[in-house]
Amino acid sequence: MRIYLIVGLLVAMTLHGGAAEQGMDKMWGESTVKLRAENAERGQLFEEGNYAMFIHWGLYSQLGNKVDGKTYYGIGEWIMNPRMAGIPPAEYKKLAGTFNPQEFDAKAIAKLAKDAGMKYIIITSKHHDGFAMYDSKACDFNITKTTPWAKDPMHELADACRAEGLGLGFYYSHNQDWTFPGGGNGPKVDEDGNPATFDDYFVKKCLPQVEEITSNYGPIELVWFDTPGKMPKKYVQQLVDVVRKNQPNALVSGRAGHGLGDYQSLGDMEVPHRNVKGLWEAVDTTNDSWAYAWYDEYWKTPEEILRRLIACIARGGTYMLNIGPRGDGSVPERAARSLRESGEWIHRYPQVVYCTDASPWEHALPWGDVTVKDHKLYLSVFDWPASGKLYLPGLKTSVKSAQLLNGNEAEIIKVEKSNGWTVFEVPRVAPEKLVSVIEVDLEDSPQVDPTFGIDPEMETEILAEFATVQGAKSTTKRWMEKFGEWKAVKHVHNWTPDGKAVFEVDVLESGDYNISLTYSGEGRLVWGVDVVGGEHIQNEQNSSHNYQEFPIGWINFPKPGKYKVAVTCLEGDGKTSSLKSIGFKPVF
């Protein structure tokens, strides 16, 4: 495709440049709602089906991040944006003429989701590019009207989902529409050069299309609105009313805006580290882009998928994991393979994943994480202890029995109590390649002391967000690694001379522990670490713009029990020093 580079860039920037970039920064922010589970049926979807497939598929998939032979790095569905290829709307629309997804196989996609252990699929019915991936009467810029393929994939997908017993929902970009006059960050004039307002776009396209997607595909489970930006409340309310009218049991995503959605959607690619209350979802992708990007082979492995899924469930939420099919409709095989392999594990251990409650520890443990069902704990062990002992801190409820699961088989294991810790005797070799599971049957529902236990054998990393902070700031920092690829860290920074981040820990075995700090910063920094009322150590180390783990030294815990450990930035540029975590590793 030909891009008129300079003119194109200028036009695109005038039409949706600065605003679109600003939109990228303010997409989901802190303003999203916590879910009200006022409709029990709607809440059910998240309670039971806490793992879903997200699909970003549209005209942009055809480009796969390459335009006129040049590759653009970032999220593929934003290829029109000036920070990517800067494609003017008229030029972009021509892509429809060659969109012919012969390899699209709705049944195979639904089967993949089923094999992956997912419970429903959310697919882009219209993304910010404005192209309807379904048969829309409201706007001709759609797949049946303008492409040689001329079919409606959403009907096929709806049928395939129903056949597999999966739920279906539609992503719909309600605010941003980069090709329709008046749409958010879109052209400000119509084809005749007359001014177009957001109201024009809303009345002519947005509202009727939401009416269509909620009426034409049978019962659906969810409408996933995205990037509300500054869209006025009166519009969002009308959209939500349409969903309620046509699909009374469907959830509306928190990104509808103005607190009118049903649940909270976290920031893109964000898996939380502490339990989050209410109904919420994390959205993530199998590589780094949402839509297909030809170069993006950085696939999450089956183990990473399970780590992230179980972390979300253990924090009390839902995990939606994206695939980006190619322009021809095919799904990249490596993404499919990771989904299938992690899915095989889920089908072996459904009790760990579905209909479970969050971990009462409210955070991960050094070797893995915990999910709960009634009086049972499921310990998902990612890092298997080579010593033959697995240590669980803070469990107050009595243990009836514990067994090591191996698919449908189970082996009873010995359990001991020591200084308030529960110690399981396990084989030295992990029974599972991906994640091994211990089922712990309790006398009652679990009661725990969530204080971080310092594992006597493995490294215990405690994130700075768990510290009590004084004389420094504790906030969330977000940045894009590539365009649209979000990273987040909750860090302690802006250290004053008296600044402290204090971590409370529970030590099972007295002795020396090697302390490391993971931080970023400028130049050489001197950090102090104190066992409050005990030993003080300090050391100078270099810093890096990226977070890096730096050793500080050995520190002694003279006896088992609870301690407070304080971290201070003693010398150097305390303003930019950003502490991410502290690590404790027993000295052998």
Q: Which of residues 16-75 bind ligand FHN (CB under 6 A)?
A: 27-28, 75
Count of residues that interact with ligand FHN, criterion CB under 6 A? 10
Q: How far is CA 369 from CA 245, 381, 436, 442, in A?
A: 40, 7, 11, 17
Site string for ligand FHN, 251-290 (x = CB under 6 A): -----------------x--------------x------x
Q: Which is nearer to ligand FHN, 122 or 492 (CB)?
A: 122
Residue type for position 223: V
Question: Which single residue brings its beta carbon nearest to ligand FHN?
Answer: 27
Q: Which is nearer to ligand FHN, 79 or 313 (CB)?
A: 79
CA distance 306 to 302: 6
Does the CA dihedral 289-213-208-46 come out positive or negative? negative
- Closest CB 310 distance from ligand FHN, rounded Å: 21
Q: Which is nearer to ligand FHN, 77 or 439 (CB)?
A: 77
Binding of ligand FHN at residue 462 (CB under 6 A)? Answer: no
Rounded to 5 degrees, what are φ and ψ at 275? Answer: -60, 145
Q: Which is nearer to ligand FHN, 485 or 530 (CB)?
A: 485
Question: Contact with ligand FHN (CB under 6 A): which of 91, 129, 177, 226?
Answer: 226
Q: Which is nearer to ligand FHN, 115 or 226 (CB)?
A: 226
- Closest CB 263 distance from ligand FHN, rounded Å: 14
Residue 286 class from Cβ within 10 Å (0-12 exposed, 13-18 middle, 19+ buried)? buried
- Closest CB 469 distance from ligand FHN, rounded Å: 29
Residue 162 class from Cβ within 10 Å (0-12 exposed, 13-18 middle, 19+ buried)? middle
Q: Which is nearer to ligand FHN, 265 or 474 (CB)?
A: 265
Contact 489, 580 (CB under 8 A): yes
- Closest CB 319 distance from ligand FHN, rounded Å: 13
Render the burial of 462-489: b for 16+ CB within 10 Å, e for the rest: bbbbbbebeebebeeeeeeeebbbbebb
Question: Contact with ligand FHN (CB under 6 A): which of 60, 77, 336, 519?
Answer: 77
Binding of ligand FHN at residue 212 (CB under 6 A)? Answer: no
CA distance 385 to 387: 5
Q: Which is nearer to ligand FHN, 229 or 278 (CB)?
A: 229
- Nearest in space to 182 (alpha carbons), one of 171, 194, 166: 194
CA distance 11 to 382: 51
Binding of ligand FHN at residue 438 (CB under 6 A)? Answer: no
CA distance 311 to 26: 26
- Closest CB 27 distance from ligand FHN, rounded Å: 4
**Which residues would be at the binding site for ligand FHN (CB under 6 A)?**
27-28, 75, 77-78, 226-227, 268, 283, 290
